[in-house]
A and B are shown apart, each in its own frame.
Chain A
């Protein structure tokens, strides 16, 4: 092929690209109808969409979420679809625009989501969520000692400290609140407070000594401790926070219009009916680290909302 031919081919290639782009514009509606999804979707019913922000054990998520979707499909009699989202902000936004009907939120993100969607309801939580705790941890070489009273958190002044993700309840909001009660603001730390992104990263970064101390979800700490994944010579718990409400399921009120009145209650009942004695149910419960789901209501998160306003996470 001569150089000239190569050019011609090149130009044709480029043309094809732009042509195919143009050609694509009107096309997508066609394959969508013929797509596999429509076979399980009856013409009038759009799928009920469920989402969750993976906080831990995310590797099970993909597999087990199909179980949850299947379970809800049989219980509710409507097609259920799981949509993957990995980011708190993205999940709240997707819930707000109506692309997620039922979401497993953290304490703070649940409040944020409800504030953006009028009539949204917190319907269920795990047995442990009514009494949830964070733990403050410290690197052994920091010489920070175990404390019994919140006022003693003052010893963290001048130390380096890391939270988890910005909108985590157990890895940021409540720890910051308790620190504030002990008279410590974010500017009292050595350097800037860290935002490690997730609970496991907090644990590892304090274990490594990058930060002298940090605060994380107690459940993650306990799980990792059982797995033997923590070097207890290097990192220890110095304080367990008082209890607060955390993770919960929030449902969009629009589902009542779409799937009929009382649908929210049906969803709630389906979640509460998950029975740990049933091995299939047990698998789903385990995904959430729950013994079982219990009822909850919006009022339970008033404290979270108030703290979030103080700290500026809700404007």
Chain B
């Protein structure tokens, strides 16, 4: 976390002195990571007991086979169609709200804002900045589902519950990422404006925001995809939509019906991902989530990318297409808000105030005994182990899939496409691309709790089923993000390596990995924080860790205990945040 010291950009643009790949700092992190993985495997029972339950394959197969004959009864399909629209509406409203709030909070959480507007109050500005950042970490640490149950208990059965459950944690996440984007945007134009006497606020609006906009917009699209997945989990709290339908079918394990729901989610996710990908490409923004890796965002390279993108955009039909999409967004948001019939006055109604006071009085934590501390420590270790295993699985798998699912490798004209070969081989290449993208899509579209239950058939209980479920779901997300990184890499060095006779594996090992590894690591670490939050929902299906305790406390209406557990959880997320930031700095 930098604040008033050296501005990031000045340092980043100057060429860095080449550093040994294995600096001491990196070695320490490497050792710590290895230790963390070993510890997690130990907690998962690796080497101490059998982990795979061979007897459960028939049950596992029942689930898999049902994918071939989903429930297609017209009445049921109509129900699912309607549910899909509701889920979409929740996602749109949740995204709209979290982006608006997140933009405001993100500006307040950015160092550059305080630096520009209060240059003379540095002593006060720094604490203010830190306060905003710390305050944002609390809503971020708590999962949507818990927020949902909280809003349910003060608002009752109200469509606002689901919208707020998405919007509150997501606007904090958006704020964090937006503030990082703002801080890493080159600030020279801003400084130039300020130095020539432009009022700071105008300088900020005209000198910084327009530059940061492509990254902000790209991330907004990505956030929409996340909201969609989230809206699909929120059915539990009476929000309706696909999540509700899937939960109903899950109650009695109707796999055929479940698969209809998954296919709806797969279609919806696939359509939204494709649309947002196309739109971003046509507008010249290439990456969904441009995480800070400290690598210079090479302005020249970006300009080139943008130019080449815009030259593609010249085609009139695509220009219409972009405009059409944007007009669609502009119409969809009010439409979705209207269709959910949100009544914002409920937020400040007397009943809400009364219920809020009620829940706050109930939520007085009692005295924590030593025994409780010990059990909390155990559960924290479990949660941590689960998230570490999930992250490693998603990260490693993601790297592998990033090569399989990228368009720039195996297809004709791709880097690894055998030179001089004709179109004949392209069928195989296309099907490889299609299959790997489908695998990623299915992994991320099926909600984590479902994966957890399915893996519990073939694994013995412990943290492993939960970890694998989380790992698989996040692999689906990471694989695609990483594939995008590969696709966006400037390919001249790699192509020259290839034409000098390097084999495919050599090209990947020496051409791609060294360039992209920092970004891959950054994504995985970012996902780690997400995995940590999500352990709560696999805990809700009984896969262990703090999530299990939270489920027990929620169902006992033990709000006092819940506050203690959530505090531990927030602390854990905060520490993970620090570790991940330090590690990201180290891999730069």
Contacts and interface: CB of A to CB of B under 8 A. Distances in A.
B284 interface: yes
Given A86-B238, A195-B548, A208-B56, A315 B334 contact: no
Contacts of B541: 195-197
Contacts of A219: none
Contacts of B461: 160, 162, 191-192, 194, 210-211
Given A1-B322, A97-B355, A166-B555, A200 B253 contact: yes
Contacts of A312: 556, 558
Given A24-B337, A84-B244, A315-B558, A56 B238 contact: no
Given A17-B330, A83-B238, A90-B152, A198 B252 contact: yes
A86 B233 CA distance: 12
A199 B225 CA distance: 33
25 contacts: A7-B213, A7-B214, A20-B330, A23-B334, A28-B341, A29-B343, A59-B76, A59-B257, A62-B248, A86-B235, A86-B244, A86-B251, A87-B247, A89-B149, A89-B555, A93-B152, A97-B355, A141-B55, A160-B460, A166-B552, A192-B548, A195-B548, A197-B250, A197-B453, A210-B56
Interface stretch (B105-113, B307-315, B473-481, B488-496): B307-315
B169 interface: no
B322 A204 contact: no
Interface in B145-193: 149, 152-158
A167 B96 CA distance: 36
B67 to A, nearest CB: 17
Given A56-B252, A86-B247, A208-B457, A12 B326 contact: yes
Contact of A58 (B157, B158, B249, B342): B249
A58 B79 CA distance: 14
Contacts of B522: none
Contacts of A3: 284, 306-307, 309-310, 313
The 3 closest A-B pairs by CB, nearest first: A208-B56, A195-B542, A1-B319
A165 B554 CA distance: 12
B238 A84 contact: yes
A210 B338 CA distance: 47
Interface string A13-27: 110111011011111
A90 B554 CA distance: 10
Q: Is the interface of B mostly helix, strand, loop or mixed?
A: helix
A277 interface: no
Given A6-B284, A315-B557, A54 B322 contact: no
Contact of B213 (A10, A141, A315): A10
A253 interface: no
A229 B266 CA distance: 29
A295 B53 CA distance: 46
B236 to A, nearest CB: 5
Given A97-B355, A166-B551, A21 B236 contact: no
A79 to B, nearest CB: 16
Interface string B76-111: 100100000000000000001101100100000000
Interface in B97-136: 97, 99-100, 103
A85 interface: yes
A197 B453 CA distance: 9
A82 B458 CA distance: 38
Interface in A84-105: 84-90, 92-94, 96-100
A13 B410 CA distance: 36
Contacts of A315: 556-558
Contacts of B250: 197-198
B344 A28 contact: yes
Given A97-B355, A204-B253, A210 B149 contact: no
A121 interface: no
Interface in B196-245: 210, 213-214, 217, 220, 235-238, 240, 244
A13 B330 contact: yes
Given A1-B319, A313-B556, A21 B96 contact: yes
B313 A94 contact: no
Contacts of A58: 248-249, 251-252, 254
Interface residues of A, number: 83
Interface residues of B, number: 88
A84 to B, nearest CB: 6
Among A87, A194, A204, max chain B CB count under 10 A is at A87
Contact of B55 (A31, A165, A209): A209
A85 B156 CA distance: 11
A9 interface: yes
B329 interface: yes
B209 to A, nearest CB: 9
A17 B213 CA distance: 15
A293 B231 CA distance: 37
A24 B342 contact: yes
Interface of A: 1-3, 5-7, 9-14, 16-18, 20-21, 23-29, 31-32, 35, 54-59, 61-63, 83-90, 92-94, 96-100, 112, 116, 139, 141, 160, 162, 165-167, 191-192, 194-198, 200-201, 204-205, 207-211, 231, 234, 312-315
Nearest to A2: B310
A136 to B, nearest CB: 18
Contacts of B397: none
A24 B252 CA distance: 39
Nearest to B240: A84
B395 interface: no
A29 B345 contact: yes
Contacts of A314: 556
A205 B210 CA distance: 55
Given A24-B338, A28-B342, A29-B345, A205 B457 contact: yes
Among A25, A26, A166, max chain B CB count under 10 A is at A166
A89 B554 contact: yes
A45 B345 CA distance: 21
A191 to B, nearest CB: 6
Interface string B428-470: 0000000000000000000000000100111111100000000
Contacts of B329: 13, 16-17
Given A86-B248, A90-B236, A200-B252, A10 B556 contact: no
Nearest to B54: A209
A5 to B, nearest CB: 8
B249 A83 contact: no
Given A13-B326, A83-B238, A84-B238, A192 B313 contact: no
A115 B495 CA distance: 71
B351 interface: yes
Contacts of A166: 551-552, 554-556
Nearest to A98: B156
Interface in B37-61: 53, 55-56, 58-60
Contacts of A191: 460-462
Contacts of A55: 251
B153 A97 contact: yes
Given A94-B157, A99-B158, A200-B252, 14 more contacts: A7-B214, A11-B213, A14-B220, A21-B97, A56-B251, A57-B252, A58-B248, A84-B244, A141-B55, A194-B461, A196-B456, A204-B59, A205-B59, A208-B59
Among A58, A88, A231, A312, max chain B CB count under 10 A is at A58
A97 B156 contact: yes
A268 to B, nearest CB: 24
B251 A32 contact: no
Contacts of B412: none
B505 interface: no
B587 to A, nearest CB: 32
